[in-house]
A and B are shown apart, each in its own frame.
Chain A
């Protein structure tokens, strides 16, 4: 004689175990897929940058690029302790630098030709939302603190400090700038990581200075970046009153080096920043 109660109980337990297992496995798989998606997008972008450079050719001494860029901005949520958040942001900045050639290319990766001079262009590699976390204790990470982190912490993939990697360690010259508020990096705020290409000195059109005379050299004067409550010139914090002066000083001076910029996406800063840096759209139209 079959025990019907025993049968149904056993079936129920088995069913619950199957459902729980499915949820666990699905969670892992979806997380893996989303990480994989992000890595896939980064790899595609990096390959398109490399192909664009390899496939460029010279005509009458000017460089022409024909392969398109296949890049998109990646949105990411992060959380953790202060050190973990700084590490993740630094890694994303390093990845952005790596994707766009580490400053190795002589002409801007965004320009199709270097026949004419052009202002610099930016591409936002990723937007990062820092979420609340019990481990993130105290005030935000100030601009000075984050600059100290980049100066003193090793970038594991290259075995040199992050700051050195941005400035020369990838092979080409570069720089890193932060445009943050006095609150620095903290939960419930969003930040953008952008690659800023070098200004192009036109081969056919001589570069002009603001005074109107042809310049024998570009970038002979340091950028005068000002900030209120600044934590350091290279990585600076700016108050509301100083936004326009600070950002436009940075963006309108001709800088013949590629750079990585961490920018607080607070509305006022974002507006000023992207007003002054010609944004390159990604393949997703973002």
Chain B
């Protein structure tokens, strides 16, 4: 009798333990349910506690913009290598730059122009960098005198129907002592801006100049043209009202006007660098 009692006192707890384990640990048992509840609680806590984090990857340019920047660089290098003087070339221009800023900066020590492109988060990350040796940036703008002289050289022939002698061209082109018809600059900045949702477009700025010069919105309608006045400078064309802000954009358009740069290149009146 005592033996049976002892046996029962061992067996019953054993059976209870086995049942408990089966109940808890079987694939559809309570343990799995507890796990689900705990992981749900975990996930909720994660949502509630701890600061959210962000991740980053290497900032890049959109492929289309990268292609435009590459074209600008290859055009400038081609112009640098060209033996033709007083010539024009075309890099294709920039589509709407959006959050991208392109700067060209001349480094006196290295005798090269660095092209740096900012974009990325907030538009302040450097996404591209390249140096072009032996090239100095310039603009056909910055002072009324510069723009007037350039105008006289390349468009003066059509001015008010007065035909200007060809010798006048040669005077400015080949006698720098008479005054510059282009303005060398240390830095050029090209980006996009808008004014209260209107007047949206690419802009060009020259940081070394006073803030009231070359400061208009949508003032970079150059249709992709560049000018090479000598063996080291390559000039950009800010557009304005034939004043210190630059030439009128009509001189760069493809409207077929006889005096426009595209038309003059077609008829051979002005030189192409390529």
Contacts and interface: CB of A to CB of B under 8 A. Distances in A.
B53 A230 contact: no
Contacts of B179: none
A223 B126 contact: no
A168 B57 contact: yes
Given A168-B59, A223-B123, A233-B118, A104 B54 contact: yes
A105 B116 contact: no
B207 interface: yes
A256 B207 contact: no
Contacts of A164: 58
B103 A233 contact: yes
B50 interface: yes
A137 B189 CA distance: 32
Interface residues on B, range: 35 or more
B175 interface: no
A89 B123 CA distance: 25
A103 interface: yes
Interface stretch (A27-35, A52-60, A269-277): A52-60
B3 interface: no
A192 interface: no
A211 B120 contact: no
Given A219-B121, A229-B186, A53 B192 contact: no
B103 A173 contact: no
Best-surrounded residue of B118, B120, B197, B207 (most CB of chain A within 10 A)? B207
Contacts of A63: 51-52
B101 A224 contact: yes
Given A103-B56, A144-B107, A224-B205, 18 more contacts: A106-B51, A107-B52, A167-B58, A167-B59, A168-B56, A168-B59, A171-B53, A173-B59, A173-B120, A173-B125, A222-B99, A223-B123, A227-B207, A233-B189, A234-B118, A234-B124, A242-B207, A255-B124
Contacts of B99: 219-222
Interface of A: 52-58, 63, 65, 103-107, 142, 144, 151, 163-164, 167-168, 171-175, 177, 211, 213, 219-224, 226-234, 242, 245, 255-257, 259
A226 B52 contact: no
Interface in B117-151: 118-126, 129
Contacts of A259: 124
Contact of B52 (A105, A163, A213, A231): A105
A173 B121 contact: yes
B208 A228 contact: yes
A63 B207 CA distance: 41
Contacts of A256: 121-122
B207 A54 contact: no
Contact of B54 (A58, A105, A163, A224): A105
Contacts of A57: 48-50
Interface in B203-260: 205, 207-208, 211
Contact of A224 (B55, B105, B189): B189
